[in-house]
Amino acid sequence: MIPTLAWTPEGVRFIDQTKLPLEESYVLASTYEQVADVIVTMVVRGAPAIGVSAAYGVALGALRSTAATAQEFAPEFDKVCTRLAGTRPTAVNLFWAIDRMKRLFADLLAAGASMEQVRDRFLAEAHAMYDEDIAACKTMGAFGGALLPAEGGVLTHCNAGALATCGYGTALGVIRAACEQGKKIRVYADETRPFLQGARLTAWELMEDGIDTTVICDNMAASLMRAGRIQAVVVGADRIAANGDFANKIGTYNVAILAREHGIPFYVAAPWSTIDTATPTGDAIPIEERSPVEVTHHGGKQLTPNGVGICNPAFDVTPARYVTAIITERGVLRAPYPESLKAMAEAAG
Ligand code: MRU
């Protein structure tokens, strides 16, 4: 399995996604500040992986604390959560994971827990999130794999794979499952400017698994669709609003419009932790603006003239009307999404 992140006695070990595919190296985060740094610098990225990393960050905050009781740890706990929550604004999984740790801490405080108990329970909770994430990806894969054609081209954008989760992936989990079901899938991976998650990460991890993969520049998708080479699109999500609008890597919206124009099904695969029923529509999703350097430079080489204006939103919002189905570990949702999302949320309690 691709080792996106792993707990070790020294802290969390991350595969360095800024170095892939040319170098397979690892970064150890042994404090919560270091976990925050690896999230900001995108050593680890992808909504579910960010969430679980933050949970381990909170656990590290407790493990490194010298407080004797949960009560004494409380102000430090707030600081830890605030720092981790301030890393990346769009992926709701980050806030979902921190909120889960906050609920646990409230219970521990109420029970008058010792610091040893806090440390044990925090680590156990982070491990549980890690295991649940892989299980959710596998279940999504089984649901989504069945939706893909027996044979054909599947386009994906960014990296919603094992590297974006604790393993297996969401959109790439669907593709992996389809391949395991014996389907003959050729993956077209958008390179995904400016950070090149598709060209670097999706291509790397699918090739590790021996899945037929072709990288295309982002501006080639329309032409391939018109030529009949794409039979389905599957992407991940960073946040799905209550009405089914969703944020994902910048450029996803373009792909959705192109898929609609060419009559190609457009699927979104995401765990339930990506669904944010507190955000009514996509307009309310905060979009991260990243450094202009990601656009002006590549591999340390300047591409654009000095002083030119640069715009670098890391995500865009795709309106729900472009989505053929949302694939979650709880099942496959269809339009109208406000109703289907609400019904599934209520069914799970
Ligand atoms: O900026 P990134 O690389 O963290 O963006 C990742 C994406 O947009 C993914 O598609 C999304 O997080 C889903 S990952 C299963």
Residue-wise pLDDT for 166-193, tens only, equals 999 999 999 999 999 999 999 999 999 9
Select from 223, 227, 232 the least CA-distant residue to 184: 232
Distance CA(88)–CA(285), nearest Å, equals 12
Look up tokens 């992936």; give the residue: 169
Residue 269 near residue 170 (C-beta atoms within 8 A): yes
Q: Ligand 1 test: best mutation among 17, 45, 50, 96, most atoms within 8 Å of CB?
A: 45
Element (H, E) at 248: strand 246-249
Instruction: State the average pLDDT for the chain.
Output: 97
* Closest ligand 1 atom, residue 161 Cα: 15
Residue 4 near residue 162 (C-beta atoms within 8 A): yes
Residue 231 carries which side chain, given as an amino acid letter? Q
Residue 283 near residue 317 (C-beta atoms within 8 A): yes
Residue 109 alpha carbon to ligand 1 centre in Å: 34
* pLDDT higher than threshold 90 for residue 337: yes
Tokens of 142: 């089984």
* pLDDT higher than threshold 80 for residue 43: yes
Pairing of strands 239-241, 275-276: parallel
pLDDT, position 18: 97
pLDDT, position 2: 85
Structural domains in the chain, CATH included, are 5-138 (1.20.120.420), 140-347 (3.40.50.10470)
* pLDDT higher than threshold 80 for residue 349: no
Look up tokens 């921190």; give the residue: 98
pLDDT, position 271: 98
184-213 exposure pattern, b = at least 16 Cβ within 10 A, e = fewer: ebbbbbbbbbbbbbbbbbbbbbbeeeebeb
Residue 216 alpha carbon to ligand 1 centre in Å: 18
Distance CA(220)–CA(225), nearest Å, equals 9
Distance CA(93)–CA(50), nearest Å, equals 7
Q: In this predicted model, what pLDDT tens digit does every residue of 189-211 receive, in sequence order?
A: 999 999 999 999 999 999 999 99
User: Which residues contact residue 150 at a Cβ distance below 8 angstroms, ignoring those fewer than 6 apart?
Assistant: 183, 184
* Closest ligand 1 atom, residue 247 Cα: 8
* pLDDT higher than threshold 80 for residue 311: yes
User: Which residues contact residue 170 at a Cβ distance below 8 angstroms, ignoring those fewer than 6 apart?
Assistant: 48, 137, 140, 160, 161, 164, 236, 237, 269, 270, 271, 327
* pLDDT higher than threshold 90 for residue 254: yes
Q: In this predicted model, what pLDDT tens digit does every residue of 66-102 receive, in sequence order?
A: 999 999 999 999 999 999 999 999 999 999 999 999 9
Q: Ligand 1 test: best mutation among 156, 205, 238, most atoms within 8 Å of CB?
A: 238
Residue 191 alpha carbon to ligand 1 centre in Å: 13
Q: Is the dihedral of CA 124, 126, 131, 135 positive or negative?
A: positive
Helix (H, G, I), strand (E, B) or coil at 152: strand
* Closest ligand 1 atom, residue 93 Cα: 12
DSSP string, 30-50: -SHHHHHHHHHTTSS-SHHHH
pLDDT, position 341: 98
Residue 348 alpha carbon to ligand 1 centre in Å: 25
pLDDT, position 346: 92
Is pTM beyond 0.85? Reply is yes
Phi, psi angle pair for 329, to nearest 5°: -75, -15
Ligand 1 site, CB within 6 A:
45-48, 91, 158, 160, 164-165, 170, 197, 236-238, 248-249, 314
Distance in angstroms between the alpha carbons of the first and the last residue of the chain: 33
